[in-house]
Amino acid sequence: MFPRSPVFPHNRRQASPNNMFTQPSLVQQQIESQLNFTNRNFHSHHLNGFPLIPTYQWKPPLDVPYTSPNGSKNKNRKRKSDCSTQDDQKRQRVRSPKPYEPPGKVSSFSPVHRGEQGPSRRAVDETCSPVHSPMHTPGTSKPVGCVPSLREESYQNAYSGFPPSIVKDKLSQQILDLFLACEQQNEDLQKKESCRAQLQWDIQLLHPCARVFLAGSSLNGFGSRSSDADLCLVVQDGPVNQRTDAVYILSRVQRLLYKLSYIERPQLIRAKVPILKFRDRISGVEFDLNVNNVVGIRNTFLLRTYAHIERRVRPIILVIKKWASHNKINDASRGTLSSYTLVLMVLHYLQTLPEPVIPCLQKDYPECFSPVMDIHLVPDGPRNIPPFVSKNQSSLGDLLLGFLKYYATVFRWDKFVISVREGKALPRPNSWEWKNKFICVEGNMMCKM
């Protein structure tokens, strides 16, 4: 048996207003000693002797309050429904709690407050952490492109002034209403970021230089209120053997999660890219953790740019994901389409219309999405890309019906592969990878087939 980790409440400053996290306790030090964390992989090579890949720091808007629930209220708390009602929004407006993270109290590169670190944590930071956050380097100008920074993103009023031509019919208005009710809110992202920060703190007892990145629909703009959260644990600069080393690392993390009071139901899934599934007991959010799948981080910020380059992209993708879920064809574990595949299918359709709704970003801005760009520079890569002005002014309803018609009657599934990277359909190759597959979508948007 291993010692139990301290309870993780979301309100971490109850003891002192200047104390974001407590110093490493004797219990935490015992975890490290009892588990004999040598930070080596199966081949006895150090996993932490590598140039640091720093983490981004998401900062919520200052004008969005967040209620930090106490321990007693969260033990039996039910997960928030996917779609918010008008009454829910009214209740949210009357709350007046503390902000999630006051600026100035948080280090610019680590979820640990420097002034409150113990000697061991300070030594780790001096060795492993960069001087500045990759998301906000001092001296850089404010982003002028279409993609909002992670510090400034707000979901509340972004779609309040749609042109009448985009919502001219009843179906279009219903799509917009569904989107506004179900899109991820700032408070939803705050809960995921809160768990990510605390989880990184705990995992650094295993791998002091490791970083945990939030990725997937939580950041790419296509998430809903009930979306799970994808996490990427980066333990070294370079690839990790997913069949051996990744499973070994996740097994160790799983043993740790069993002892964390704010985590429940950790389950290791030995897939092609193994993941560790678990649930945050405080917020009720489900998480999927992988190891060094950095291409997922790159894809996240590429999709995030598509989400914001044209205002119709996010509503149409969310309603198609809802349609697929309602018809039980949105579950890759059951042999149907993953949400990621659905997003790529919609983007491909919007790219290949006679008058495209969106461009091919990797062709138009190759320097912003280079597959060899340092991972900590990826979030700022598309910061200056301007909005795309499309000549296609089809309504949301017309685009939805056109999507269904395109894949039902126009696209030749037996001859072509969907490629968002190229902005067109590619001839289907004869390699074994694509044989016996009815739906072929180029999933890795950073590399050629």
> May I ask the CATH architecture of the domain 164-427?
2-Layer Sandwich (3.30)
Closest-CA residue to 385 (of 131, 143, 93)? 143
Contacts of 214 (CB under 8 A, 6+ apart): 56, 58, 192, 193, 196, 229, 230, 231
CA distance 430 to 443: 17
Question: pLDDT value at position 436?
Answer: 81
What local confidence, expressed as pLDDT, does residue 258 receive?
A: 96
CA distance 272 to 258: 24
Instruction: Render each residue's pLDDT in the chain as its tens digit; 449 residues.
Output: 444 444 444 443 333 334 333 344 444 444 444 444 334 444 444 444 433 444 445 444 444 443 444 444 444 444 445 565 554 444 443 333 333 333 333 333 333 332 333 334 444 444 443 333 333 333 444 446 888 877 655 554 556 567 888 899 999 999 999 999 999 999 999 999 999 999 999 999 989 999 999 999 999 999 999 999 999 999 988 889 999 999 999 999 999 999 999 999 999 999 889 999 999 999 999 999 999 999 999 999 999 999 999 999 999 999 999 999 999 999 988 889 999 999 999 999 999 999 999 999 999 999 999 998 988 899 999 989 999 999 999 999 999 999 999 999 999 999 999 999 999 999 998 888 787 888 999 987 766 65
**CB neighbour class for 194 (10 Å; exposed up to 12, middle 13-18, buried from 19):** buried
Residue reference for tokens 């004797």:
26
Rg of the chain in Å (alpha carbons): 22
Tell me what pLDDT residue 162 has. 74
Cβ atoms 264, 199 nearer than 8 A: no
Residue 391: the pLDDT is: 95
Long-range own/partner contacts, residues 423-429 (CB < 8 A, 24 or more apart): 423/348, 423/351, 423/352, 423/359, 423/360, 423/363, 424/351, 424/352, 425/348, 425/352
- The two three-digit tokens of residue 91, written as one number: 């209740």
User: What's the half-sphere exposure (Cβ side, CA atoms, 13 Å) at 366?
Assistant: 3
| Residue 18: CB atoms within 10 Å | 10
Q: What is the DSSP letter of 250?
A: H
Q: With contact defined as beta carbons under 8 Å apart, do 186 and 154 qualify?
A: yes
In sequence order, which residues have a C-beta less than 8 Å from that of residue 88 and are 6 or more positions away? none
* Pick from 258, 212, 288, 238: nearest CA to 41: 238
Q: And the tokens for 99? A: 């902000």
* Predicted structure pTM score: 0.71
- Which residue bears the tokens 């309803």? 397
According to the model, what pLDDT value does residue 31 have?
44
